[in-house]
Structure formats: structure tokens, C-alpha cells
Copies of this chain bind each other. A is one copy, B any other.
Amino acid sequence: MASPEERAGPEIAVAVVGAKTPGNIGTIARAMKNYGLSELLLVDPPALDPDGEAYGFAGQAREDILPNADEISFEDLTENYYTVGCTATTNEDPANHMRYPAKTPRELADSLEGIDSTVAIVFGRERVGLTNEELERIDTICSIPASAEYPSLNLGQAATIVLYELRDLALSESQHPEDLHRRAPQPEIERLHDQFAAYLDAIDHPENKQPKARRLFRRLLGRADPTPREVRTMQGLLRTGTERSESWHPDRE
């Protein structure tokens, strides 16, 4: 991925409106740090005691994001940021534009890509979320898909999912190595298949059954996408078995 200097795209802040539970604000701060965001805006927040749950739940975000959070009015928020309001409930009735149309978090990430603006992802209160009066002032609606029977996510969990989906906009790099899974080059895999064929010969697997066994092994490896190390190790193990089987004599038993 590109370094932070090279990335074009929005500056993303997170705003929490009227939350009552300090622990949720700590959870959100931690998710922000996990996903490369730093600007936390609080509208009408509860008191955040340095020895309390907000700091207890914030992980390393207790060092920077929480102490640097800014208290802001809802008016200043909508005046200065392109606001995205997160809500569990969407309108069924497409004639009602309070919560319609909405984007999923993944669609939101796509839509923000390449937009050079100051965006605030806005989360509402526990249980009731954002009020209709607040939603009227908000530019775009985002709704996290969840169970029709129980779509209401906990505030901190909802924020975690949205920030996870926005990761490519904010993170210059993840903790993952370049390849989470490297498939061995095909010629190396073919050498393993050759070794397997030699092994079948050496263990005197019936000749008319060898093609079927080779096919089975090809399908198995074909689905497993073996790594270079897996291919080399399996080849070595089969080679030893091949050699030992070739020098085996029934009368030495």
C-alpha cells in the first residue's frame, strides 16, 4: 500500500453524539487506533474519568485519541464536516428520505475513495441512535447489515465494523505480510506430482489403480493451494518413502 504521504482521499473523523456509556467511547477510540484514525469528536459526552471505563476499554488509544478528543456542538459538526450518519434502521418506504437511501459500510468506503474532503462518521446514542432532527442535518446515511430479527448492534461494535470497512482509506499499511498465502509456482507443484507417481510405483500400488490415485492427489493439492515450503517438505517426505520402498525386500521382513 501507499505511504500516508502518497494517499489521496478524505480526512476521516469519528463523531459520537449523546453517548451515555464511557466504555463505548473507549471501545470506539480503540477501533479508531486499530484502523488508523485519530480525530475523535464528542457531542454532549459523558464524563471521561482517566481511571474509568472509557480509558479502560481504549487499549493504546488511551495514550492519544481519548485525551485529545474534542468536544463539539452538533451544529459545528454539520457546518464543517461532510457527515455520514450510522443507523441500524432504514426506511422500508423509499418515499421517506429520513433514512433512505442508505449505503452499506462497504459501499460507503467505495464512495469515499478519492474524495478529498473532511468527513465525519457519526454514531448516535445507545438504543435510540440519532434523532430524526439530527438525521435531517446529516448528508449521507450508512446502515450495517445484520439479522432481520436482531439488527441492533451495540454502539462500540457498530463503530468497529464501520471503521474496519473504511480501513483502506485510512491505513497506510496493515500488519499482514505482503502475501498472507503464497501458492507455490506450478513447476514445483508438478515436481511433487512426479514424486507422488514415483512413490506409487515404489510401494507397488496396482498399476491400473495408479491413474486414479494420481488424480485424487491432484484434486486434493489443487484445492489446497500449497505453499512452496509445503510442496518441498511433502516432496522430501515422499522421496524418502519412495527410496525405502524401492530397497525393501519381502524376505528381509
Contacts and interface: CB of A to CB of B under 8 A. Distances in A.
B164 A144 contact: yes
Given A94-B179, A103-B181, A181-B102, A34 B229 contact: no
Given A94-B229, A160-B160, A227-B100, A34 B177 contact: no
B100 A175 contact: no
What are the 10 closest A-B residue pairs judged by CB atoms, nearest first?
A101-B181, A151-B175, A145-B174, A157-B160, A34-B146, A95-B229, A148-B173, A102-B180, A148-B175, A92-B177
Contact of A90 (B89, B103, B144, B177): B177
Contacts of A94: 177, 179, 182, 227-229
Contacts of A229: 94-95, 97
Nearest to A96: B229
Contacts of A167: 145-146
- In terms of DSSP, what is the predominant structure of the interface of chain A? loop
Could you say which interface size class chain A belongs to? Answer: 35 or more
Given A94-B228, A227-B94, A34 B147 contact: yes
Interface of A: 27, 30-31, 33-36, 57, 59-60, 88-92, 94-95, 97, 100-104, 107, 143-148, 150-154, 156-157, 160-161, 164, 167, 171-177, 179-182, 225, 227-230
B88 A153 contact: no
Contact of A30 (B31, B91, B157): B157
A245 B172 CA distance: 53
B180 A34 contact: no
Contacts of A160: 153, 157, 160-161
Given A90-B180, A181-B102, A227-B101, A175 B154 contact: no
A30 B158 CA distance: 12
A164 B145 CA distance: 8
24 contacts: A27-B154, A30-B153, A31-B157, A33-B150, A34-B147, A34-B153, A34-B157, A59-B150, A60-B150, A90-B175, A94-B177, A95-B229, A97-B229, A97-B230, A100-B180, A100-B181, A100-B227, A102-B180, A102-B181, A107-B180, A143-B176, A146-B164, A147-B175, A148-B174
A112 to B, nearest CB: 13
A147 B35 contact: yes
A205 B59 CA distance: 59
